[in-house]
Structure 1
Amino acid sequence: MASPPRHGRSLAHKARQRTPGHHYNASFLPAAERAAILGWLGQLHPLWEERYSKHFPPPPGQSQRRLLRPVYWLGNWQFACLDYYRPPKGVKNRCVKAEPFPAVLQRQVAKVEELARRMFRGPDMPEGWHLNTCLVNFYGSRLEDGQWVDTARVGEHKDFEPGPVASLSLGERALIQFVTSSRPGERDEVVLEQWLDDGALQLFGGARWKEQTFHRVQRVDTRGGHVMPPEMPDFKTRRINLTFRYVPDVHVTPFAQLSPEAREDVRPYMETLARHSAFFRAELEREART
């Protein structure tokens, strides 16, 4: 992979300076809490999702594809085939009620929410904001046709959920970049970059970092030799990122209350999750009774 573009002074140096709306703490997670989170992660069964579905087919000229990495969601599950949460219009049938945070994550969330409420005011802190959704991304290499292919990256995107966004990093460090761009795929100026270390917290919000820039994971190191749980037959994880966001509770929908089309699209995923989760088994049983 080519080296990231450089513009003027060291961007890594800039990121270490005080940056309004962006906070980084390299040693946020105590060792005991890190160990507890890893123990919880070892019990997960991440899901491989496909991008499209029967009722949300690929655009013209594109084909079905599997996501680059396995994922797990807490609080609400934004299945890729439902096209994620994109307010103001993309709010119905987007966020499916999911398992609550385990106690060890809820403790981290409480600390992050306290910090965020000190950092952000007014329009940067929506009424009712609280971190009620978590995307667990597994970064590493996947097995394709007998070969291990490195897929540890994320292209330019925005997190459309309102209010501040927080992430916890585990394993190998990753280079995140915030870039100015009129649309994903363009290569405009990198305005901030930061190495995200093992045990680190990143918190960002406000118009500058939520609306005026995209962010991307440019690359994930291999030098630390991290091998992260859980074990998967077709994937080797070297970094895990937990991204916490806010979805208004009114937009979080139990599976049984989704539209018939949305239920049909995500039912296979719900059935897969239910093999290992009492929560998702109960959701399927509730839908069967309606």
Structure 2
Amino acid sequence: MAPPPRRGGMLASKARQRTPGHHYNASFLSAADRSEILQWLSTLKPLWEERYSKHFPPPPGQEQRRLLRPVYWLGNWQFACLDYYRPPKGVKDRCVRAEPFPPVLERQVKKVEELARRMFRGPDMPTGWHLNTCLVNFYGNRLEDGRWVDTARVGEHKDFEPGPVASLSLGERALIQFVTSTRPGERDEIVLEQWLDDGSLQLFGGARWKEQTFHRVQRVDTRAGHKMPPELPDFQTRRVNLTFRYVPDQHVTPFAQLSAEAREDVRPYMRTLAQGSAFFRAELEREKPAP
């Protein structure tokens, strides 16, 4: 694999020193906390999701597809087939209550929240903001038709949850880029790129990084030879990223209180999750009508 572009290091330095609204700490996690997170990861059974469902079918000309990687959510689960959380209109039946953070992540969240409240003010720090959502993304190689295919990337997107977003990275380093767009479907300029190292924290917020730019993961290295937990039969993980966001608590819905259509679409996923989680087994039990 070719060495990283030199300009990435230059931009990374600028990001640490002179980029308002963007913070990077390459050594945020202590060795003990990193080890505890890896132990917790080894207990997970990530979920493979399909993009569409019975009540949210593919657009004309498109077919059902599986996501590029397995995922896990904490706090609330934003199932792909419910089209994620997209305020102000896309808030109902989008965020399904999920497991709480384990203690090791609660400790990281507390530190990140303190940092974010020092960095952001006014409209960049919504009333009631707290990091109550975590998406765990597994990056690596997927087994397709008997061969391993590298799917360690994420295309241009925005995180629509209000307020600052934080991410912790473990395993191989990844190159994230923030890009501008002045016309739909076109990306004009890379305005910041940053290598995200093992044990690092990235924190960003404000209009510049949440509204005016998209971000994407261009590549994930293979140099260090990381093999990350948990063991999966059809996926080789070399990087894990935990992205922490804020969803207003009133928009997080217990499974039993979803609409009938939403429950039908995500019930198979809930049953799969329940095989390895007492929390999700209890959530399914609450759906049963009283005798």
Q: Normalized against structure 2, the TM-score is what?
A: 0.96
1:252, distance to aligned residue in structure 2 (A):
0.1
Matched, 1:276 2:242: no
| Structure 2 SS opposite 1:287 | coil
Q: Classify 1:191/1:73 alpha carbon distance in 2 versus 1 (closer, same or farther; 3 Å).
A: same
The 5-angstrom pairing of residues 102-181 of structure 1 reads 102-181=102-181
What's the counterpart of residue 251 of structure 1?
251
CA contact (8 A) 1:156 1:184 kept: no
Go from structure 1 to structure 2 and tell me whether the alpha carbon gap of 1:105 and 1:2 turns closer, same or farther (over 3 Å shift): same
Between the two proteins, the alignment pairs up a number of residues equal to: 290
1:18 Cα deviation after fit: 1.9
2:93 corresponds to which residue? 93
The one-letter amino acid paired with 1:15 is A
Check conservation: 1:6, 1:190, Cα contact below 8 A.
Answer: no
Structure 1, unmatched stretches of 5+, are none
Instruction: Determine the C-alpha separation between the residues in 2 that align with 1:78 and 1:252.
Output: 10
Aligned partner of residue 288 in structure 2, secondary structure: helix
The answer to whether 1:58 aligns with 2:35 is no
| Corresponding position of 2:235 | 235
1:152-171 deviations in Å (ceiling 9; x for gaps): 00000000000000000000
- Give the deviation of 1:246 after TM superposition: 0.1
Q: CA 1:68–1:2 in structure 2 vs 1: closer, same or farther (change >3 Å)?
A: farther
SS of equivalent to 2:38: helix
Distance 1:90 1:275 in 2: 30
Secondary structure of the residue that 1:149 maps to in structure 2?
A: strand
For residues 130 and 170 of structure 1, the distance between their equivalents in structure 2, rounded to whole angstroms, comes to 23
Q: 1:9–1:282: structure 2 CA closer, same or farther, 3 Å change rule?
A: closer
Paired letter, 1:82:
L
**Cα distance change on mapping 1:188 and 1:8 into 2, 3 Å:** farther
Deviations 1:17-64 (A, max 9, x none): 321000000000000000000000000000000000000000111100
Matched-pair contact (CA < 8 Å) for 1:274–1:281 = yes
Measured in 2, the distance between the counterparts of 1:2 and 1:60 equals: 39
The residue aligned with 2:48 is 48
Paired with 1:116 and 1:13, the residues of 2 have a C-alpha distance of 20
Which residue of 1 is the match for residue 289 of structure 2? 289
Amino acid at match of 2:135: L
Deviation of the 1:181 alpha carbon: 1.4
Inter-CA distance 5–225: structure 2 relative to 1 (3 Å threshold) = closer
Aligned equivalents of 2:249, 2:140: Cα separation in 1: 33
Report deviation, 1:16: 3.8
User: Aligned partners of 1:72, 1:159: CA distance in 2, in Å?
Assistant: 17
What's the offset of the Cα at 1:149?
0.1
Tell me the distance in 1 between the aligned counterparts of 2:57 and 2:231: 31
Looking at structure 2, the residues matched to 161 and 106 of structure 1 have their Cα atoms a distance apart, in angstroms, of 19
Task: Output the amino acid matched with 1:103.
Answer: P
Q: 1:158, 1:170 → 2: CA distance?
A: 22
Residue type of the alignment partner of 1:262: A
Identical columns (%): 87
Partner in structure 2 of residue 200 of structure 1: 200
State the superposition RMSD in angstroms: 2.0
Runs of 4+ in 1 over 6 A off after TM superposition: 1-9
- With 12-21 and 254-263 compared, the bigger mean Cα shift is at 12-21
Task: State the alpha-carbon separation in 2 of the partners of residues 279 and 183 from structure 1.
Answer: 44
